[in-house]
């Protein structure tokens, strides 16, 4: 709840753009998630996010086509927005297509995507940085709205009727297969979640959702005790230390710097031998599990890995 940014100045600066947009009759284009998911641009942000936030909270998903973790988090947010049915709205911002909003995100001190902010009553607050399994994102959103309610800053609007059960669609129950993993994530028990995802994979090694969940949990476990800046600096100072390169690649993955992480490990494979080389290779393969199987960066990295090995 800390670090709220008043968007009033941006609202005033965008007034003329609003007027031009109103005269032209344009509007924000709905994304595949339907009426509760909007593609927002530099020109429509003020109306579709800032003004809308006076009556309903808006989660803003900053993403880009090249960002693998964004392709994991985006569909989860769209699904949850559709389930919420108006309790909150999701606004999606492609930072490559909307440089003003991309620059605005950087001014907030955010350097990596995916990044999600919440806007309530014209106030923007950082919310999520990085991808996570659906159960963890769902829990974070529930905690967010509990906090907003306790602070007394939830706007009076459509979400109040939905919260009271008026016209709210029945929410789908959690898949019992993933129940143990979701329960563990809700408790903040990453080790328990890891064990639960592993049990799912023991029964069905081809379960893509469990693979992704396990990979994300394992990444979270590895980086939770790392100091990002110190880890990167150590990797720079010790280019021949494969373990330092592995830790640095984890930090880069968390911050959305996928190409850097893959390139670092490929360099480690080329420059090492024996157990060190095998450790770098295996770690690179484990990072592939964090991205959709058809991500072009995986195919490119696999080709480079084969060239390095053979």
Which residues are known to be catalytic?
67, 70
How many Å apart are CA 112 and CA 70, to the nearest integer? 10
Burial bucket for residue 63 (CB in 10 Å: 0-12, 13-18, 19+): buried
Residues in Cβ contact with 245 at an 8 Å cutoff, skipping those fewer than 6 apart: 235, 239, 264, 265, 267, 268, 280
- Would you say 197 and 182 are in contact if contact means Cβ atoms under 8 Å apart? no
| Residues listed for the chain | 310
- Would you say 87 and 162 are in contact if contact means Cβ atoms under 8 Å apart? yes
How many Å apart are CA 27 and CA 126, to the nearest integer? 26
How many Å apart are CA 304 and CA 310, to the nearest integer? 10
Inter-CA distances, 44 with 29, 60, 65, 105, 136, Å: 10, 13, 20, 16, 30
Would you give the DSSP letter of residue 156? Answer: S
First to last CA, the chain: 52
How many Å apart are CA 166 and CA 156, to the nearest integer? 15
């Amino acid at each position: 709840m800390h670090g709220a940014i008043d968007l009033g100045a941006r609202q005033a600066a965008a007034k003329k753009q609003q007027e031009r947009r109103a005269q032209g009759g344009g509007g924000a284009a709905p994304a595949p998630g339907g009426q509760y998911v909007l593609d927002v641009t530099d020109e429509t942000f003020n109306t579709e996010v800032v003004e809308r936030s006076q009556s309903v909270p808006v989660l803003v998903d900053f993403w880009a086509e090249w960002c693998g973790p964004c392709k994991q988090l985006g569909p989860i947010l769209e699904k949850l927005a559709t389930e919420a049915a108006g309790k909150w709205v999701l606004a999606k911002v492609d930072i490559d297509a909307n440089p003003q909003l991309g620059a605005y995100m950087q001014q907030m001190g955010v350097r990596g995507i995916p990044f999600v902010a919440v806007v309530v009553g014209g106030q923007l607050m950082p919310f999520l940085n990085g991808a996570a399994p659906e159960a963890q994102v769902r829990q974070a959103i529930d905690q967010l709205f509990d906090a907003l309610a306790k602070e007394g800053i939830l706007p009076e609007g459509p979400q109040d009727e939905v919260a009271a059960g008026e016209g709210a669609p029945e929410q789908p129950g959690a898949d019992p297969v993933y129940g143990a993993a979701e329960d563990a994530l809700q408790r903040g028990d990453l080790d328990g979640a890891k064990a639960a995802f592993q049990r799912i994979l023991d029964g069905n090694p081809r379960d893509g959702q469990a693979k992704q969940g396990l990979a994300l949990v394992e990444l979270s476990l590895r980086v939770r005790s790392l100091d990002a800046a110190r880890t990167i600096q150590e990797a720079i100072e010790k280019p021949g230390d494969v373990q330092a390169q592995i830790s640095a690649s984890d930090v880069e993955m968390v911050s959305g710097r996928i190409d850097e992480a893959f390139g670092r490990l490929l360099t480690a494979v080329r420059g090492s031998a024996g157990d060190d080389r095998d450790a770098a290779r295996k770690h690179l393969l484990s990072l592939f599990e964090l991205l959709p199987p058809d991500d072009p960066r995986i195919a490119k990295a696999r080709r480079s890995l084969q060239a390095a090995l053979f």
